[in-house]
Amino acid sequence: MGHDHSHTHGITATGRHRKRLIAVLAITLTVVVVQVVGAALSGSLALLADAGHMLSDAAGVTIALLAAWIAGRPASDQRTYGYQRAEVLAALANALILIVISVVIFTEAIRRIGSAPEVHTDIMLFAAILGAVANLVSLLILRGAHQDSLNVRGAYLEVLGDLLGSVAVIVAALVIMFTGYQAADTIASVLIALMILPRAWSLLRDVVDVLLEATPKGVEVQMIREHILSVEGVVDVHDIHIWTITSGVPVFSAHVVVEDGVLNARGADQLLDKLTTCLGSHFDTEHCTFQLEPASHSEHESRQHA
């Protein structure tokens, strides 16, 4: 016997924040153009690295928006959860893009060691300050929403890294301007590459957890078991499974052993309502399925397998 209080999940967590992502995408693409032109005119690798990082952010946001649109398509008999996992795959692509960008930046920085070209710091400084301001605005737009979706979180982390990268470029420009130490540009490039990798790894790890259907963070299976056992009429619970379809869509299933007298039509319905309410209120798990088993049947199975 199953009972499912499924709420509408046609709009995923990323879809709910689509307008924020579009605004960030517009800001990011504008700054990328400015920084690429600035890098070409100034000869700054650090500025070009920052532009490359921001371009990867723009690609990641574009992928997230496309995935949100795909994920909103209705479910079918062939895909009973629709295309909601498309968001997770987009987050995976986003993480891989970040890793590739960081490796390319690091490689070019190493190649320039000992032969750093002269950098025009006025253009470099202007473009870097513009990038920092744009990233700060983007962070404010995404603030709060990054806790709901892997893709929004990926965009937030990327913008945060961009802000730190822009600060590194600003510092490098000031060092070159006041000391003439041209290698500061190369050092800033390496720092930007090293800042990207931890964020990419963190996002990749979370994506892998979803794909491996790991228990969502912050959910304690033992505590859920105790809450279910506290419901009147419940004797035992087993085969508990908790996983995530996509950001904001956790799923729960369990076999619940109950007293035989509970399994009349009205009693079973009331028990299922209590179980669903308990799970939803304590653990924010709305999509849940319970298989009810009478205690006598459970005891019979135990004797058969003894």
| Residue 131 half-sphere exposure toward CB, CA atoms < 13 A | 38
Regarding whether 19 and 77 lie in a shared domain, the answer is yes
pLDDT mean over 72-78:
71
Regarding whether 55 and 189 lie in a shared domain, the answer is yes
Q: Is 51 a domain residue?
A: yes
Task: Please give the C-alpha separations between residue 170 and each of 27, 92, 173, 195, in angstroms, as whole numbers.
Answer: 19, 31, 5, 16
Q: What is the pLDDT of residues 34-55, one digit of tens each?
A: 989 988 888 888 888 888 778 8
- Domain stop point among 174, 191, 212: 212
Regarding whether 97 and 41 lie in a shared domain, the answer is yes
- Domain stop point among 194, 212, 230: 212
Task: Please give the C-alpha separations between residue 203 and each of 217, 223, 228, 280, in angstroms, as whole numbers.
Answer: 14, 27, 33, 27
Q: What is the pLDDT of residues 213-270, one digit of tens each?
A: 887 877 778 888 888 888 888 888 888 888 887 766 788 888 888 887 777 767 777 8
Regarding whether 34 and 148 lie in a shared domain, the answer is yes
Regarding whether 169 and 32 lie in a shared domain, the answer is yes
Regarding whether 197 and 52 lie in a shared domain, the answer is yes
**Rounded-to-integer distance, Cα 267 and Cα 55, Å:** 58
Q: What is the pLDDT of residue 7?
A: 42
Regarding whether 178 and 83 lie in a shared domain, the answer is yes
* Local confidence band at 174 (pLDDT 50, 70, 90 cut-offs): very high
Q: What is the pLDDT of residues 87-110, one digit of tens each?
A: 788 778 878 887 887 888 888 878
**Rounded-to-integer distance, Cα 45 and Cα 49, Å:** 6
Q: At what angle do helices 45-71 and 86-112 cross, to 10 degrees?
A: 170
Of these ranges, 119-123, 278-282, 286-290, the one predicted with the greatest mean pLDDT is: 119-123
Regarding whether 27 and 107 lie in a shared domain, the answer is yes
Residue with tokens 């320039």, as numbered in its chain? 112
Q: What is the pLDDT of residue 175?
A: 92
The number of domains in the chain is 2
Residue 292: helix, strand or coil by DSSP? strand
Q: What is the pLDDT of residue 3?
A: 47
Residue 48 is part of a domain; what is its CATH number?
A: 1.20.1510
Residue 279 is part of a domain; what is its CATH number?
A: 3.30.300.30
Q: Which domain holds residue 157?
A: 14-212
**Rounded-to-integer distance, Cα 188 and Cα 39, Å:** 14
| Residue 235 half-sphere exposure toward CB, CA atoms < 13 A | 15
pLDDT exceeds cutoff 80 at 5? no
Regarding whether 293 and 194 lie in a shared domain, the answer is no
Q: With b meaning 16 or more CB within 10 Å and e meaning fewer, what string describes 100-114?
A: ebbeebbebbeebee
| Residue 227 half-sphere exposure toward CB, CA atoms < 13 A | 18
Regarding whether 253 and 184 lie in a shared domain, the answer is no
Q: Is the pTM of this model over 0.75?
A: no
Regarding whether 183 and 115 lie in a shared domain, the answer is yes
Regarding whether 117 and 29 lie in a shared domain, the answer is yes
Q: Is 9 a domain residue?
A: no
